[in-house]
Amino acid sequence: MSPNTDLVADIAGDLGALARARVVVVGDVMLDRFAYGAVERISPEAPIPILRIEREAAMLGGAGNVLRNLTALGVTADLIAVVGDDAAGREVAALGAAEAGERCHLLAQADRPTTIKERFIAAGQQLLRTDRENARPLAPAIAAQVVNTARAALADPAVGAMILSDYGKGTLPPATIATLIAVAHEAGRPGVLGVPVVVDPKGRDFTVYRDAHVIKPNRRELHQATGLPIDDDEQVAAACRALMDQAGIANVLATRSERGMTLLQSDVTAQHFPAAAREVFDVSGAGDTVIAVLAAALAAGCDLERGARLANLAAGAVVGKLGTAVAYPEDILRAHTAADLLSAEAKVVGEPAMLDHAARWRRCGLTLGFTNGCFDLLHPGHVSLLRQARAACDRLVVGLNSDASVGRLKGPGRPVQPEAARAAVLASLADVDLVVVFGEDTPLKLIETLGPDVLIKGADYTAEQIAGAEVVRRRGGRVVLAELLPGYTTTGTIAKLKA
C-alpha cells in the first residue's frame, strides 16, 4: 500500500470517527437570507441595477452554520444561543430544531431583535448585503441562562469539545467567555482533564479567550490582535507565537485564505498546510466549516495536527460551493485525493449531498432534471435516453434502483450487475451529473425530496404512469417523454447470452 493510500485510509478512518463525536456550540446565531434573481435593466431613478427576484431561501448563520457543518459530518451537537422574540427568531428556532432537535437550545430576549443577514444575488454574484442586528450584551438573566445551559450540556461525559463561535453580536462578552472556559475545564470524560475549548474569535483583544485550548483567527484578525506583519510563513508563525504568549492560549490555527493554514502548538515547530481548494466560488461560512471540523476531530480523539489537516481539506471543499455551504465527509475525502467534483466517483452521492448540489445549481440559475431506472447491463437504448434527458435540462440526476429493488421488479437472477457497478458505469457518462441509489420500487420519494424542474422517462410510459409526474407538475415543472431506440433491452440481451 502506497503512503498516499495509507493517508487516504487514515483520513477516511478519522471521518468515520466523527460520527461518534459530540460537541457543544455556544455563540451568536443569525438568520442568513438569500434573494436570487436576474438583473436585466438599470433603474430610471438612479444608476443602480434592478434585481428581479425569482427565488428566496433562508438558513442558519453564525453559530447556526457551525451547527449545520457539525450535523453534516454526523456529529451530535448542542447549539446554545439567543434570538429575539420575533418572526426571524422563530424561523431560526425551526431551522435549528431541524438540525439538532431538542439539542437546539435557543433563548429568547424580547427587546433584542434576531440578527439577520440578507444577500441579493444575480448570476452567481452578490450585489448587496444588508444586516439587521443589535450587538449590545445580553440581559444579565439571559447571559446566566446561557452559562447554565452550557454547564448542563457539558455535564454529559460524551461531550468531547466546546466551540465558542464569537461574531461580536453580544452573546459572548468577556465575563461569559471566562465563565464558559472555566466550566469546560471542570467538565470532561472520566480520567480526562476538562473539555477542550475551540474559539472562533472576534475583535482585537484575544486575552478574553485566555486558557482556551485552540483559537482560530484569520489573517486580518491575527494582524489586528498582534500588530505584527503576516506576509509570509515565518511572519505568520511569529505572530501566532506572540498571540499565544500575550493571550495565554495553548494553540493557534491561523487561516490564511488562498495560502492555507498555519498551526502553532506549544514547543512544536509551526506546521503550514497549503490551501486545498482547486477553485473558489464563495468563501462565505468557510471559517464556520474549519472550526466545526477542528472541534469534531478533537472530540473524536484526533490530535491537533490531524484535526487541522481535516479542517483544511474541508475548507477547500466548501469554498468550491456557492453560498453558505457545508462540507460532507465525502467532500473532505475527495478534497484530499484532489478528484474533480465531476469525476465518476464524486457523482455517486447520498440524498444529503444530492440536495447540497441541487441547491448550489439552483443558486446559479440552472434547471434540474431527473430520470431513473435499473440500468442493468447498460446498452445503447439507455445511452439514448440519458442523452435526451440531459438535453432537456442543465443538470441531470439519475435515480438508480438498488439491488433489492431490482430483484423485486425484475425477478430472480436480477440484477446482473450489483448497484455499485451499475452506479459507477452511469457516473462515467458525461450526460450524467449525479447518481443516487434508492431502495423503493418507484422513485416517488426521491422525486419529492429533490423537486426537479424536469422529469424524463421513456416513451413506453404515458405521463399518467410515470411516478412523480404529478409532483413535478404541481411545482411548475414539466414531464418529457424520451424517444426509445428500438431493439435494445437488458432482458433481450440476457436472453441472447443464455441462448
Same domain, 166 and 71: yes
Residue 339's pLDDT is 40
Same domain, 325 and 361: no
Last residue of a domain, one of 288, 305, 338: 338
Residue 229's pLDDT is 94
Confidence of residue 238 (pLDDT cuts 50, 70, 90): very high
Task: Give the neighbor-by-neighbor strand order of the sheet with 49-62.
Answer: 49-62, 29-42, 116-122, 125-132
pLDDT at 99 over 90: yes
Please give the mean pLDDT across all residues of the chain: 87
Confidence of residue 215 (pLDDT cuts 50, 70, 90): very high
Same domain, 380 and 405: yes
Q: Cα(453)–Cα(55) distance, rounded to whole angstroms?
A: 14
Q: Cα(64)–Cα(368) distance, rounded to whole angstroms?
A: 28
Same domain, 161 and 59: yes
Last residue of a domain, one of 311, 338, 365: 338
Sequence-distant (≥ 6) Cβ neighbours of residue 417 within 8 angstroms:
376, 377, 425
Please indicate whether residue 41 or residue 324 has the higher confidence score (pLDDT). 41
Same domain, 330 and 430: no
The alpha carbon torsion through 480, 374, 444, 483 (nearest 10 deg) reads 10
156 is catalytic: no
> What digits encode the pLDDT tens for the residues 270-327?
999 887 654 444 445 688 999 999 999 999 999 999 999 999 888 877 765 555 578 7
Same domain, 195 and 73: yes
Same domain, 146 and 225: yes
Q: Which of 78, 288, 356, 453 is catalytic?
A: 288
In the three-class reduction of DSSP (H, G, I as helix; E, B as strand; rest coil), residue 74 is classed as coil
pLDDT at 362 over 90: no
Q: Cα(326)–Cα(112) distance, rounded to whole angstroms?
A: 28
Same domain, 333 and 443: no
Place of cell 465525502: 330
The burial of 434, by beta-carbon neighbours within 10 Å (0-12 exposed, 13-18 middle, 19 or more buried), is given as: buried
Which CATH number fits the domain that encloses residue 167? 3.40.1190.20
Same domain, 425 and 318: no
Percent of the chain with pLDDT over 70: 88
Residue 86's pLDDT is 95
Residue 328's pLDDT is 81
CA 223 to chain centre: 29
Residue 393's pLDDT is 93
Q: Is the distance from CB of 479 to CB of 472 less than 8 angstroms?
A: yes
The average pLDDT across 220-239 equals 93
Same domain, 276 and 369: no
Cell of 321: 460551493
Cell of 106: 435557543
> What digits encode the pLDDT tens for the residues 389-448?
999 999 999 999 999 999 998 888 888 888 888 898 999 898 999 999 999 999 999 999
The domain in which residue 100 lies consists of 3-338
Residue-by-residue DSSP string for 455-469: EEEETTS-GGGSTTH
Please tell me the least confidently modeled range out of 46-60, 241-255, 393-407, 472-486. 472-486
Q: Cα(33)–Cα(95) distance, rounded to whole angstroms?
A: 12
Number of structural domains found in the chain? 2
Q: Cα(163)–Cα(198) distance, rounded to whole angstroms?
A: 5
The alpha carbon torsion through 130, 135, 139, 145 (nearest 10 deg) reads 80
Please indicate whether residue 482 or residue 106 has the higher confidence score (pLDDT). 106
Last residue of a domain, one of 338, 371, 402: 338
Q: Is the distance from CB of 320 to CB of 280 less than 8 angstroms?
A: yes
Point out which residues pair with 397 in neighbouring strands: 370, 434
Same domain, 258 and 203: yes
Residue 340's pLDDT is 41
Please indicate whether residue 193 or residue 65 has the higher confidence score (pLDDT). 65
Same domain, 53 and 135: yes
Residue 410's pLDDT is 86
Which CATH number fits the domain that encloses residue 440? 3.40.50.620
Percent of the chain with pLDDT over 90: 64
In a 13 Å sphere around the CA of 219, the CA atoms on its Cβ side amount to 13
